[in-house]
Copies of this chain bind each other. A is one copy, B any other.
Amino acid sequence: MAETKERDTTLALDILHQRFGDRFLTGKSIREQHGHTTTYLENQPPDAVVMAESADDVIWVVQVCAEHRCPVIAFGAGSSLEGQLNAPAGGVCIDMSSMDKILKVDQDDLTVTVQPGVKRIALNEHLRDTGLFFPIDPGADASIGGMASTRASGTNAVRYGTMKDNVLSLKAVMADGREITTASRAKKTSAGYDLTRLMVGAEGTLGVITELTLKLHGLPESIVGGVCNFPDIESVCRATIQTIQYGVPIARIEMLDQVQVRACNAYSKLSLPEKPTLFVEFHGSEASTKEQSEIFNDIIQEFGGSDFQWTANTEDRTKLWQARHDAYWAARALKPGTEAIVTDACVPISQLALCVEETRKDLERHNLLAPIVGHVGDGNFHTAVLVDMANAAELNAAKAFAERLSQRAISMGGTCTGEHGIGQGKKSYLRQELGDTVDFMGMIKSSLDPQNIMNPEKIF
């Protein structure tokens, strides 16, 4: 184990300043932009920001920081929701946004190798002519490195899996400044511990990701999208469960409750009936998407689904899914001047209807405004509780609600976080959810980062 040194952030910053010159930034607003900015959590800026241009830059920063026990926080696009980017112990933020090169598309292998600062929309634009795409789509235009670090997923996960399933291999600079490659480029492997899956979801607490090889998927020959509404949330959930159980290989199945529909109508200029609604999408051959749509249509009839409109028109589909991706901003626009406390419960799908139902009642009981959206095919749903931060009673009520929701999900065999991660916001829930297991996570953290310099005070 490395010798434990005194923390000397000031000295580390001086050395980094000399090395990086113009690429070493300490302006207040720059620093604040590199702390947490997306939810109600307090902004805690780093002491300095280094604009990295290469893995060598990252290695250099981490080596200096290891020498002086200075915290290191990697920054991708700034869209994480649980305070992952905050610097409660100060230190250096490494901004990876200039490391945005797409290094190699291997069409034969259906893989692409990228730097971590590449953003998901740019990646798919780059891939467009290859007939391939990368399916993981959290709402924001996040960076691939950040998406890996939080084990992100999004609307396509029901069919294509999450980041855990779509990162084949990665490079990372570990806490001692060494860069490692976690795995070969083979499609499967039994070569030792699965460090790829350990780094995916580690939220930067074990190392800084410097390169990723991702799995790609063929663009479907046919994409059919649709929207339909239901008399109540339970019917939405039951129709979803039946669709999954029936084995329909649905690509997207997203719930919006009546409040979220109202928000999206206003924000994204839609005119949907203000009722619990499903956005769906089917991928496959012409014959397959037709078959899937027909089966789905039969299923929703059983649960009172109506107004099912479907379209293969790209423009209409894009508008619908852009609205879905903007749901968070639409929610916030419902009550201007407020911040959002975003929850991320995920339960076994058999428990989904009950969990969402109880959550809706809980919100009403406490007079909280919170649209609900759900990746319901995965049993995952979000509420965005809109809070006037000057109203202490409302803030406390919202926090108490979020805690009850996490406990409800955990008590139903689920998790407090399906895709946002633990960060600063959910540390206490992690222990509630997994108990002593967290001790073993802590042992891994201590062994790989004995000085606790990699994104300290996150997860643990």
The chain B residue sitting closest to A218, CB to CB, is B247
Contact B188 A346 (CB under 8 A): yes
Q: A182-B434, A194-B201, A288-B288 are in contact. List 15 more A-B contacts (CB 8 A).
A: A108-B350, A157-B188, A164-B188, A178-B436, A186-B346, A188-B419, A190-B344, A190-B419, A191-B430, A193-B202, A194-B198, A195-B441, A217-B247, A218-B246, A444-B447
6 contacting pairs across A/B (C-beta < 8 A)? A151-B194, A188-B378, A189-B415, A192-B422, A192-B430, A193-B441
Contact B106 A348 (CB under 8 A): yes
At the interface, yes or no: A115 with Cβ under 8 Å from chain B? Answer: no
Taking CB atoms, residues of chain B closer than 8 Å to A197 are 164, 194, 197-198
Taking CB atoms, residues of chain B closer than 8 Å to A459 are 192-193
Closest 9 CB pairs of A and B: A447-B447, A197-B197, A108-B350, A218-B247, A186-B346, A185-B413, A186-B414, A180-B437, A184-B415
Which A residues between 129 and 174 are near B, CB-CB below 8 angstroms? 150-153, 157, 161-162, 164-165, 174
Contact B195 A201 (CB under 8 A): no
**Measured CA separation A193–B433 after assembly (Å):** 13
Taking CB atoms, residues of chain B closer than 8 Å to A189 are 151, 346, 415, 417-418
Taking CB atoms, residues of chain B closer than 8 Å to A198 are 193-194, 197-198, 444
At the interface, yes or no: A250 with Cβ under 8 Å from chain B? Answer: no
The chain B residue sitting closest to A106, CB to CB, is B350
Give this chain's copy count: 2
At the interface, yes or no: A314 with Cβ under 8 Å from chain B? Answer: no
At the interface, yes or no: A93 with Cβ under 8 Å from chain B? Answer: no
At the interface, yes or no: A46 with Cβ under 8 Å from chain B? Answer: no
**Measured CA separation A194–B162 after assembly (Å):** 13
Contact A443 B448 (CB under 8 A): yes
A414 contact from B151, B185, B348, Cβ within 8 A: B185
Contact with B along A418-437 (1 / 0, CB 8 A): 11111000100010011111
Taking CB atoms, residues of chain B closer than 8 Å to A448 are 440, 443-444
Max count, chain B CB within 10 A of own CB: residue among A151, A190, A349, A413: A190
Tally of chain A residues near chain B (CB < 8 A): 88
At the interface, yes or no: A347 with Cβ under 8 Å from chain B? Answer: yes
Taking CB atoms, residues of chain B closer than 8 Å to A430 are 191-192
Taking CB atoms, residues of chain B closer than 8 Å to A414 are 184-186
**Assuming the A-B contacts A164-B197, A192-B422, A197-B198, are A187 and B346 also in contact, with contact meaning beta carbons closer than 8 angstroms in the complex?**
yes
At the interface, yes or no: A322 with Cβ under 8 Å from chain B? Answer: no
Contact B187 A349 (CB under 8 A): yes
At the interface, yes or no: A455 with Cβ under 8 Å from chain B? Answer: no
Taking CB atoms, residues of chain B closer than 8 Å to A161 are 165
Taking CB atoms, residues of chain B closer than 8 Å to A183 are 415, 434
**Measured CA separation A191–B202 after assembly (Å):** 9
**Measured CA separation A435–B287 after assembly (Å):** 48
At the interface, yes or no: A127 with Cβ under 8 Å from chain B? Answer: no
Taking CB atoms, residues of chain B closer than 8 Å to A152 are 190
Taking CB atoms, residues of chain B closer than 8 Å to A33 are none
At the interface, yes or no: A111 with Cβ under 8 Å from chain B? Answer: yes
A379 contact from B106, B162, B187, B291, Cβ within 8 A: B187
Contact A418 B348 (CB under 8 A): no
**Measured CA separation A107–B241 after assembly (Å):** 11
